[in-house]
């Protein structure tokens, strides 16, 4: 039986705080392959704008999950690389992906079973995502 985790403890809450900041998990995952320049990171992340990306990188650097290196130029070259603690996110990312795959498969199985029970039904599947207000609109509905 796995050890029970205290979700109120400081260590658990620290990890959740990092992952709950929008784009942090994406940035940590993109950097798993090695150091990248800001423009390369921005291109691969395909989501946050430059201002937000810059803020998240500063936050992750302050938490010692990545290191920012500046090489004298011209041109000046800035690269971002994960620390050991940042690289450890890779294992967590794999576990999250596995869990997500299981959730999607269960939802598809449930949807498939429901559709068999309602042959000819034109029922539309709607998924509701709730996002904290500090990250965007409170609710988004995908159809």
Q: Residues near 27 by Cβ (< 8 Å), separated by ≥ 6?
A: 41, 45, 48, 53, 56, 57, 60
pLDDT at 128: 46
Instruction: Report the distance separating Cα 81 and Cα 58, nearest Å.
Output: 12
Nearest to 19 by CA among 102, 117, 111, 86: 86
Higher pLDDT, 142 or 50: 50
Mean of pLDDT values over 59-74: 94
Tell me the average pLDDT of the chain: 83
pLDDT > 50? residue 91:
yes
Looking at the predicted structure, is the pLDDT value of residue 63 above 60?
Answer: yes
Asked if pLDDT for residue 125 goes beyond 50, the answer is no
pLDDT at 118: 59
Name the fold adopted by 7-92: Arc Repressor Mutant, subunit A (1.10.10)
pLDDT score recorded for residue 59: 96
6 or 94, higher pLDDT: 94
Using alpha carbons, list the distances in angstroms from residue 74 to 1, 12, 71, 79: 58, 43, 9, 15
Distance CA 15, CA 91 (A): 14
pLDDT of residue 133: 40
**pLDDT value for 4:** 87
Q: What is the pLDDT of residue 55?
A: 96
Higher-scoring residue by pLDDT: 7, 104 = 104
pLDDT tens readout for residues 18-38? 999 999 999 999 999 999 999
CB-based contacts of 82, cutoff 8 Å, min separation 6: 28, 31, 32, 65, 66, 67, 89
């Amino acid at each position: 039986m796995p050890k029970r985790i205290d979700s109120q403890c400081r260590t658990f809450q620290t990890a959740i705080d990092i992952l709950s900041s929008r784009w942090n998990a994406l940035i940590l995952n993109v950097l798993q392959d090695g150091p990248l320049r800001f423009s390369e990171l921005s291109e691969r992340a395909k989501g946050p704008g430059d201002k937000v990306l810059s803020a998240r990188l500063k936050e992750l650097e302050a938490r010692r999950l990545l290191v920012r290196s500046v090489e004298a130029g011209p041109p000046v070259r800035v690269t971002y690389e994960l620390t050991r603690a940042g690289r450890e996110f890779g294992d967590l990312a794999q576990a999250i992906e596995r869990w997500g795959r299981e959730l999607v498969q269960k939802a598809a199985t449930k949807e498939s079973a429901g559709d068999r029970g309602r042959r000819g039904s034109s029922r539309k599947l709607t998924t509701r995502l709730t996002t904290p207000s500090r990250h965007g609109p409170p609710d988004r509905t995908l159809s």
